[in-house]
């Protein structure tokens, strides 16, 4: 059981890295953006604060990786599996389809971690990034955010009648979150009404939580964010469990 | 036998029977795909189902191998129930599906390694790949394979778990003649190894040459089931005598010969369908007596295709 699971996860992982667009948008693009903005704003502490732009923004770029694997990566793989009949081949083997799904999620999780580590390495070695939080709390927030956004990705994968419409719905979820929840651009740059609007985007809460913890906050300082993320996770997985079909 | 006796009989395992299907039915909404199919497959035989497109071949196979749940009917494969004992069943059978895919960027070797880890007993990938002529493709991506190579890879995957029964759906469609012949050899080799092969095809020559027994399916029902020889003997004319006769009209005289069942002309080609070879002798005598100038003279044996067309009609199906 464990051997099958790890082999499948490994296979999914390798397949993801071989897909040039997946590789670029999850691992390279966030890094490039961070380097770009970092080279503009540097990491000098803001006046009256002990942190600079990179210390503040690294969480946003981590959020971007979470978004890309959770929404885009998941929908793309599931759409391909369903539409092309790859799962049909797996169904003819003595394994549970759930195992395939678990492996898919796990491999995306590993890729998310890789994306995060790349950002952290660049932050530390290029910009001399600071860290004021507690590692277990940040790890917990990272896992919660990843699960929550992946669960969100399951909603179009479960409810959309065709793979194509699933992709469209996932894009409709992806781009607003990319630009409005602070992932690609700091939310502070947005006009006030968009800042208010961005509160309905789950990724906004993930990024706020990660940012807060990174700069020395504690989990109990963020009840709203944690509630929203847990809520999204539960709703997403309940919808997936109820409506998800392989064919 | 009345129905209750029949159903009672089902509980007794028949010696050597590895697949048993009784009154299988499956509809998709309004469309009835399988409408009461019953069949039995013995250990070590090559059993084929043939039928026009949409006759219910794939659905029948899918139900037997637990890929679909039947609406009603009884199925037992190696004594297992496909619905409740799915996983145990899939350990023991290999399946090559008509329509399936692998991820584009998965390599042949990786696919073999991945699928072999799903089975408790698995065979060595290199041996299977070389049998299927894929030894030099192990590092190729799935998307880089030709249609025939993909098909051979799926056959390889179906064998990786060392199955007792192998199910091949449209085994050789899309293959070139060389690959078809080598696929036939492979299937015969499987039988020689004591495995049972259950295949579907729409090539009649394939069914005739390869299968020990053939079921002809039409509109979700079995219209005939026997060895290819018996099917031809009981359903078709034994021989067709084909004559090139440009300028004599002797159709009526041919028809009056005992043993001649049917005569028809297509241009200069006159075909007489006869029951046995004694009628051929009479035809030759007539031709000699009448000093007919012949452009061509040969006999054709009836084939399974003739039986198939006779039983399923000639109109084109979708």
> pLDDT (tens digit, 9 = 90+) per residue, A41-60?
888 888 888 899 999 999 99
Predicted local distance difference test score (pLDDT) of residue A139: 96
Predicted local distance difference test score (pLDDT) of residue B1: 42
CB B157 within 8 A of CB B149: no
CB B180 within 8 A of CB B151: no
Of A8, A84, A96, the CB nearest to B101: A84
Predicted local distance difference test score (pLDDT) of residue B315: 63
Overall average pLDDT of the A22-30 stretch:
91
Q: Which of A78-82, A89-93, A113-117, B305-309 has the highest mean pLDDT?
A: A113-117
Which phi and psi angles does A7 have, rounded to 5°? -65, -45
Predicted local distance difference test score (pLDDT) of residue B11: 43
Predicted local distance difference test score (pLDDT) of residue B314: 65
The whole-angstrom distance between A4's CA and the closest CA on chain B is 6
Residues of A in contact with B95 (CB under 8 A): 92
Which phi and psi angles does A79 have, rounded to 5°? -60, -45
Dihedral of CA atoms A149, A155, A157, A159 in degrees, nearest 10, equals -170
CB contact under 8 A, B100 and A88: yes
The Cα–Cα gap between B71 and B24 comes to 8
CB contact under 8 A, A85 and B99: yes
Residues 6+ apart with CB under 8 A from A19: B105
DSSP state, B84?
A: T
Name the least confident of A70-79, A126-135, B60-69: A70-79
Residues of A in contact with B67 (CB under 8 A): 88, 91-92
Predicted local distance difference test score (pLDDT) of residue A209: 96
CB contact under 8 A, B67 and A14: no
Predicted local distance difference test score (pLDDT) of residue B7: 46
Residues of B in contact with A19 (CB under 8 A): 105
The whole-angstrom distance between A27's CA and the closest CA on chain B is 19
Cα→Cα distances A121→A36, A53, A117, A129, Å: 15, 16, 6, 9
CB A20 within 8 A of CB A168: no
Query: Nearest-CA residue of chain A relative to B97?
Result: A89
In B134-173, the residues whose Cβ lies within 8 Å of chain A are 154, 157-158, 161
Domain count, chain A: 1
Long-range contacts of range B298-302, CB-CB < 8 Å, 24 or more positions apart? B298/B241, B298/B242, B299/B239, B299/B240, B299/B241, B299/B242, B300/B239, B300/B240, B300/B242, B301/B232, B301/B238, B301/B239, B302/B232, B302/B236, B302/B237, B302/B238, B302/B239, B302/B240
Task: Domain of residue A185: give its range.
Answer: 2-243
- The two beta strands, B93-96 and B165-169, are parallel
Q: Look up the ipTM and state it.
A: 0.85
What DSSP string runs through chain A? -HHHHHHHHHHHHHHHHHSHHHHIIIIIHHHHHHHHHHHHH-SPPPTTSS--HHHHHHHHHHHHHHHIIIIIIHHHHHHHHHHHTHHHHHHTSSS-HHHHHHHHHHHHHHHHHHHHHHHHHHHHHHH-----S-HHHHHHHHHHHHHHHHHHHHHHHHH-SSHHHHHHHHHHHHHHHHHHSSSSS-GGGS-HHHHHHGGGSHHHHHHHHHHHHHTT--GGG-HHHHHHHHHHHHHHHHHHHHH----
Predicted local distance difference test score (pLDDT) of residue B316: 60
CB B280 within 8 A of CB B299: yes
Q: Count interface pairs A-B at CB distance under 8 A.
A: 59
- What the block records as the tokens of A73 is 């990566």
Residue of A1, A78, A89 best to disrupt the B interface, most CBs of B under 10 A: A89
Regions of chain B where pLDDT drops below 70: 1-15, 314-318
């Amino acid at each position: 059981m464990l051997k099958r699971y790890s082999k499948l996860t490994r296979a999914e992982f390798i397949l993801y890295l071989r897909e040039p667009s997946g590789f670029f948008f999850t691992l390279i693009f966030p890094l490039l953006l961070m380097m770009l903005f970092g080279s503009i704003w540097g990491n000098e502490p803001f006046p009256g604060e002990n942190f600079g732009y990179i210390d503040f923004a690294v969480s946003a770029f981590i959020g971007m990786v979470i978004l890309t694997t959770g929404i885009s990566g998941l929908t793309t793989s599931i759409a391909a599996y369903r539409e092309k009949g790859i799962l049909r081949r797996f169904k003819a083997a003595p394994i549970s389809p759930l195992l395939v799904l678990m492996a898919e999620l796990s491999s995306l999780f590993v890729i998310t971690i890789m994306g995060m580590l790349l950002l952290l390495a660049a932050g530390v070695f290029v910009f001399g990034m600071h860290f004021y939080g507690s590692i277990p709390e940040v790890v917990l927030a990272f896992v919660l955010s990843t699960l929550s956004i992946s669960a969100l990705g399951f909603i179009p994968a479960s409810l959309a009648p065709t793979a194509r419409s699933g992709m469209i719905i996932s894009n409709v979820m992806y781009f607003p979150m990319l630009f409005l929840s602070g992932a690609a651009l700091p939310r502070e740059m947005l006009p006030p009404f968009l800042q208010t609007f961005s509160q309905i985007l789950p990724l906004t809460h993930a990024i706020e939580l990660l940012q807060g913890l990174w700069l020395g906050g504690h989990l109990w300082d963020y009840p709203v964010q944690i509630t929203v993320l847990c809520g999204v996770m539960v709703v997403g997985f309940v919808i997936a469990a109820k409506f998800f079909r392989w064919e | 036998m009345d129905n209750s006796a029949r159903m009672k009989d089902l509980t007794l395992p028949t010696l050597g029977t590895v697949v048993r299907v009784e009154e299988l039915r499956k509809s998709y909404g309004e469309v009835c795909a399988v409408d009461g199919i019953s069949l039995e497959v013995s250990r070590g035989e090559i059993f084929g189902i043939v039928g026009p497109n949409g006759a219910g071949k794939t659905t029948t196979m899918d139900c037997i191998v637990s890929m679909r749940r039947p609406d009603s009917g009884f199925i037992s494969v190696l004594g297992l129930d496909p619905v409740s004992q799915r996983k145990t069943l899939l350990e023991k059978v290999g399946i090559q599906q008509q329509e399936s895919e692998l991820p584009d960027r998965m390599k042949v070797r990786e696919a073999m390694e991945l699928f072999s880890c799903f089975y408790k007993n698995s065979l060595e990938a290199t041996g299977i790949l070389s049998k299927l002529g894929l030894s030099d493709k192990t590092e190729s991506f799935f998307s880089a394979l030709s249609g025939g190579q993909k098909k051979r890879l799926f056959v390889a995957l179906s064998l990786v778990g060392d199955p007792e029964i192998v199910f091949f759906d449209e085994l050789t469609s899309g293959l070139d003649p060389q690959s078809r012949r080598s696929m036939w050899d492979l299937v015969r080799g499987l039988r020689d190894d004591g495995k049972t092969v259950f295949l579907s095809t729409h090539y009649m020559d394939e069914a005739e040459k390869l299968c020990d027994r053939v079921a002809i399916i039409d509109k979700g029902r079995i219209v005939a089931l026997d060895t290819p020889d018996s099917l031809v003997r009981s359903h078709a004319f034994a021989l067709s005598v084909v004559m090139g006769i440009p300028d004599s009209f002797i159709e009526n005289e041919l028809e009056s010969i005992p043993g001649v069942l049917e005569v028809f002309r297509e241009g200069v080609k006159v075909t007489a369908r006869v029951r046995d070879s004694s009628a051929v002798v009479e035809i030759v005598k007539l031709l000699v007596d009448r000093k007919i100038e012949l452009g061509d003279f040969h006999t054709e044996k009836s084939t399974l295709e003739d039986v198939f067309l006779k039983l399923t009609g000639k109109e084109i199906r979708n």
